[in-house]
């Protein structure tokens, strides 16, 4: 694969989401001028014929797949069919169209949930398919595993530069702060903020707070994506993370302090904890020359600042 050039046509699928918009900004900041994006209204990635027609018309040279149906434990548990079928449809259509149209390089983005629930820590790329998945998000995980294997098979059979990047838990600007569908970190930011406005009322959080999680700022992931496109990496699968984790309870205390909430925290032990720990082994990507640079506290502060400037879109749903 030739390195990506500034004038190459790059299709960022899902360019309006948290990940896609960060990747778009990272590419623009590095001087890439020929970027393509389509909203879901303009291009339904679940529609194979529509995707094929788009590729035949636009002929992108590089594709970054940041499009997916995503959500936290509640959303995954409530809509298992949609999480499995829609993600399979989106990625299969993009991968097949890219392969058939001769795309030079393809990056597939997944999640640390592809690894077994009780895999040895930290989670190495070799842990894939060595044990049962976490039941609460297995639907999303199975779809992403299929995407990883599709990219691996194309690379193996046809020698194309198709590469999968598996980020740990992401957060940052343009995150989803809807309490019904968001992940833990943005949900905590919103809960603590709204509780602060309500005279510092107590905040209810799921589970025991004991599970350990690793968090990566979305701008770091975007930087890793550009790095993977600009450098021909030798493996087909890479973890992307910081290599450091903390308990959910510690995360809650950190966010509570940053937000300025002074009330109590109530842990609902009747709600599931999810996987006990999901620390990523990031040595493979580090050895290839890339490491994360944004610290968790700084990242949360900047994310909270972004939320404060954009919270009007979330005001219609208040804490009860």
DSSP conformation letters of 190-214? HHHHHHHHTTS--EEEES-S--EE-
The residues of the chain scoring below 50 in pLDDT are 316-320
Using CA atoms, how far apart are residues 280 and 115, in angstroms rounded to an integer? 10
pLDDT of residue 71: 72
What residue segments make up the domains of the chain, in order of their start? 10-314
- Strand 169-171 relative to strand 35-36, pairing: unpaired
CA angle 215, 105, 13 (to 5 degrees): 60
| 295 in a labelled binding site | no
Q: Which two tokens stand for residue 231?
A: 């450098």
Judge whether 313 is annotated as a binding position: no
3-class SS of residue 227: helix
Q: The domain 10-314: what is its CATH number?
A: 3.40.50.720
Q: What per-residue confidence (pLDDT) applies to 317?
A: 42
Catalytic residue among 140, 161, 162, 238: 140
Please tell me whether 110 is known to bind a ligand: yes
User: Does the annotation list 167 as a binding residue?
Assistant: yes
What count of Cα atoms within 13 Å lies in the side-chain half-sphere of residue 149?
10
Give catalytic status of residue 140 as yes or no: yes
What pLDDT was estimated at residue 122?
A: 96
Residue 263, annotated as binding a ligand: no
The residue behind tokens 């499009």 is 67
Percentage of the chain lying above the pLDDT 70 cut = 97
What is the C-alpha separation between 77 and 163, in angstroms, rounded?
29
Per residue in 177-223, pLDDT (tens digit) is: 988 778 899 999 999 999 999 999 999 999 999 999 999 999 999 99
Calculate ∠ Cα 163-182-257, nearest 5°: 110
């Amino acid at each position: 694969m030739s390195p990506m050039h500034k004038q190459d046509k790059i299709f960022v699928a899902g360019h309006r989401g948290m990940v896609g918009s960060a990747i778009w900004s990272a590419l623009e900041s590095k001087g890439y001028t020929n970027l393509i994006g389509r909203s879901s209204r303009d291009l339904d990635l679940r529609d194979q014929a529509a995707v094929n027609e788009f590729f035949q018309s636009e002929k992108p040279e590089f594709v970054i797949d940041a499009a997916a149906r995503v959500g936290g434990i509640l959303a995954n548990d409530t809509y298992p069919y949609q999480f499995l079928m829609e993600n399979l449809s989106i990625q299969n259509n993009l991968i097949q169209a890219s392969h058939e149209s001769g795309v030079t390089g393809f990056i597939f983005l997944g999640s640390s949930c592809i690894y077994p629930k009780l895999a040895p820590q930290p989670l190495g790329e070799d842990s894939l398919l060595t044990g049962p998945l976490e039941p609460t998000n297995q639907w999303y995980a199975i779809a992403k595993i299929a995407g990883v294997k599709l990219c691996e098979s194309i690379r193996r059979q046809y020698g194309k530069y198709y590469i999968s990047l598996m980020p740990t838990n992401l957060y940052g600007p343009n995150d989803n702060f809807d309490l019904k569908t968001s992940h833990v970190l943005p949900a905590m930011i919103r809960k603590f903020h709204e509780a602060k406005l309500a005279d510092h009322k107590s905040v209810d959080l799921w589970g025991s707070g004991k599970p350990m999680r690793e968090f990566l700022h979305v701008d770091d992931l975007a930087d890793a994506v550009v790095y993977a496109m600009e450098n021909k990496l030798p493996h087909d699968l890479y973890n992307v993370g910081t290599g450091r984790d903390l308990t959910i309870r510690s995360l809650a205390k950190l966010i509570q302090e940053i937000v300025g909430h002074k009330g109590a925290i109530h842990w609902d032990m009747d709600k599931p904890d999810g996987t006990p720990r999901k620390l990523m082994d990031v040595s493979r990507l580090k050895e290839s020359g890339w490491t994360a640079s944004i610290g968790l506290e700084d990242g949360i502060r900047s994310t909270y600042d972004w939320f404060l400037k954009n919270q009007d879109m979330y005001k219609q749903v208040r804490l009860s």
